[in-house]
């Protein structure tokens, strides 16, 4: 807690009491971020001058706390000085408190940090697929001064909300601690900065930009595959931040160990904190996402259409938003009614629903090939452990990647629907408890999705 050192002990006590009372009037996070950063620069009968870190800080304090501060001044400084009837309370830049507001230099434009304020925790639908990732992200934003999960590594397929969660962390930290140095960028952006730094002889400036941060949010880290010079630079940047107790959040489309051609020391560091996976959203979560988006867009859509979108778009939240943006355009620009027929046409256009679907036969063959088994064995009555496990994996992936029901999948394997349900439960549990199995199955799903 800072105060004007030349004041006598009476002023010292008054200042302490004033700050204590002021902290009681605001939330704890606000007190740490704003109130405790105030400096009493001057105390006169006609004016009291406080200074702050920057113009943004002083304007925020003046806008939100000036009334409370003015009331507490009357209570706690009466014994120190007799205030004039119309005394002023000023909030000025540190080291410029002797200047008038008109004399203050123009504030510098804030450095771009790559955040989009739309991406907040409030607008993120936390479903069963994001529980751990969401909770970790929230904890990171709340304990930025004493990192709990460092680094936080968020992984998941394209369009599931990794970027939204990362930016939500940055936006919340920025709201609570506006003086924190925060940067969101992609691994490609980091690579380009390295190249520009070398090309224009500004390597030192580039390193300073990243290594002096309080929070680094870096997306799509898999982009560093095979870029060994950039990996070297990121390794040292990462170490510098972690050693200085600064938070690092990383996102990728796969687990650290699944990223190929990245130095082992980086993989080890990515895995040293908390690795949180975002899974594909279930129907209930997709339904909630659609409802949330239409509320934001102020669209009126029937439950039937919402349900149809949630049933059709299964693996990509970004595609849900694209469909709704298209529906919004159809209504506002073309004046069309948002009917189920219109929705089906848009879904067909955006999602390429005419694309040949993945078959159970393809899935079974891929699983068998990758596990060095024969497809015919997976379709047989053999109960060998390796064959049974592979068969259950094929059933699980078939359920995830096709619209086929449990009975239909069961008939393919000459099993009943209960066997398929049990297989799904076993594989889900296996993936939860065994990271290698989870990585293997997810890699198969990605390969099939790319076909």
Which SS3 state, helix, strand or coil, does residue 176 take? helix
Tens-place pLDDT, residues 164-194: 999 999 999 988 888 888 999 999 999 998 8
- The predicted-structure confidence for 58-70, as pLDDT tens digits, reads as follows 788 888 888 888 8
3.40.50.2300, 3.40.50.300, 1.10.260.40, 3.40.50.720: CATH of 131-277: 3.40.50.300
pLDDT surpasses 70 at 398 = yes
DSSP secondary structure string for all residues of 228-273: HHHHHHHHHHHHHHHHTT-EEEEEESS-GGG--S--HHHHHHHTSS
Q: Which superfamily is assigned to 360-449 in CATH?
A: DnaA protein, C-terminal DNA-binding domain (1.10.1750.10)
Domain 9-103's class? alpha beta
The 10 Å Cβ neighbour count of residue 448 is: 16
The pLDDT of residue 102 is above 50: no
Task: Flag the least confident range among 22-26, 39-43, 351-355, 426-430.
Answer: 351-355
Q: Which two tokens stand for residue 15?
A: 């200042």
Whole-angstrom distance, CA of residue 272 vs CA of residue 290: 36
Name 64's Cβ contacts closer than 8 Å, sequence gap at least 6: 34
What residues pair up with 27 in beta bridges, in sequence order? none
Could you tell me the fold of the domain covering 283-351? Helicase, Ruva Protein; domain 3 (1.10.8)
Structure token pair of residue 152: 């936080």
What's the rounded mean pLDDT across residues 76-81?
74
Q: β-strands 47-52, 215-219: how paired?
A: unpaired
Region 242-259: what's the mean pLDDT?
A: 92
Retrieve residue 121's tokens: 């925790």
- Which pair of structure tokens corresponds to residue 428? 């889900």
Percentage of residues in the chain having pLDDT higher than 90: 32
C-beta separation of 165 from 114 below 8 A: no
pTM over 0.95: no
Q: Chain-wide mean pLDDT for the chain?
A: 83
Using DSSP bridges, classify how beta strands 152-155 and 182-186 pair: parallel, antiparallel or unpaired. unpaired
Give the residue from 89, 236, 221 showing the smallest Cα distance to 166. Answer: 221
C-beta of residue 184 within 8 angstroms of C-beta of residue 119: no
Quick one: pLDDT at residue 397?
92
Average pLDDT over residues 195-216: 88
Query: Which residue has tokens 């990362």?
Result: 166
Comparing 165 with 304, the larger pLDDT belongs to 165
The domain segmentation of the chain, as residue ranges, is 9-103, 131-277, 283-351, 360-449
Mean pLDDT of 274-290: 89
Provide the token pair at 215: 């929070």
């Amino acid at each position: 807690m800072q105060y004007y050192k030349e004041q006598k002990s009476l002023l010292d006590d008054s200042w302490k009491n004033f700050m204590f009372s002021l902290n009681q009037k605001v939330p704890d996070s606000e007190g740490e971020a704003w109130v405790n950063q105030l400096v009493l620069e001057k105390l006169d009968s006609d004016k009291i001058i406080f200074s702050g870190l920057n113009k943004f800080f002083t304007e925020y304090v003046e806008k939100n706390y000036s009334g409370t501060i003015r009331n507490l001044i009357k209570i706690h400084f009466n014994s120190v000085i007799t205030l004039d009837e119309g005394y002023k309370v000023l909030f000025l830049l540190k080291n410029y408190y002797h200047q008038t507001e008109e004399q203050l230099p123009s504030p510098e434009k804030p450095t771009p940090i790559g955040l989009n304020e739309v991406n907040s925790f409030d607008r993120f639908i936390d479903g069963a697929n994001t529980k751990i990732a969401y909770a970790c992200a929230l904890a990171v934003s709340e304990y930025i001064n004493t990192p709990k999960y460092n680094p936080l590594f968020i992984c998941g397929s394209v369009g599931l909300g990794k970027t939204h969660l990362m930016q939500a962390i940055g936006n919340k930290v920025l709201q609570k601690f506006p003086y924190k140095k925060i940067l969101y960028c992609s691994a490609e952006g980091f690579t380009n900065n390295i190249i520009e730094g070398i090309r224009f002889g500004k390597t030192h400036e580039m390193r300073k930009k990243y290594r002096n941060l309080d929070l680094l949010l870096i997306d799509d880290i898999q982009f560093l595959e095979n870029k060994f010079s950039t990996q070297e630079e990121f390794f040292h940047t990462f170490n510098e931040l972690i050693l200085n107790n600064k938070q690092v959040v990383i996102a990728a489309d796969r687990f650290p160990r699944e990223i190929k051609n990245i130095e082992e020391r980086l993989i080890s560091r990515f895995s040293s904190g908390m690795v949180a996976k975002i899974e594909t959203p279930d129907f209930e979560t997709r339904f909630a996402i659609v409802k949330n988006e239409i509320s934001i867009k102020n669209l009126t859509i029937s439950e039937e259409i919402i349900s149809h979108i949630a049933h059709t778009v299964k693996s990509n939240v970004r595609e849900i938003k694209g469909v709704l943006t298209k529906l919004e355009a159809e209504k506002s620009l073309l004046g069309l009614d948002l009917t189920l027929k219109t929705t089906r046409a848009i879904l067909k256009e955006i999602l390429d629903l005419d694309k040949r679907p993945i078959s159970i036969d393809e899935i079974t063959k891929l699983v068998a090939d990758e596990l060095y088994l024969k497809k015919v064995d997976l379709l047989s009555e053999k109960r060998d452990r390796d064959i049974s496990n592979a068969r259950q994996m094929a059933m699980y992936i078939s359920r995830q990647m096709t619209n086929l029901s449990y009975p239909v999948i069961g008939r393919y394997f000459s099993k009943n629907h209960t066997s398929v349900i049990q297989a799904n439960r076993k594989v889900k549990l296996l993936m939860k408890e065994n990271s290698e199995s989870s990585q293997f199955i997810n890699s198969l799903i990605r390969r099939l999705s790319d076909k």
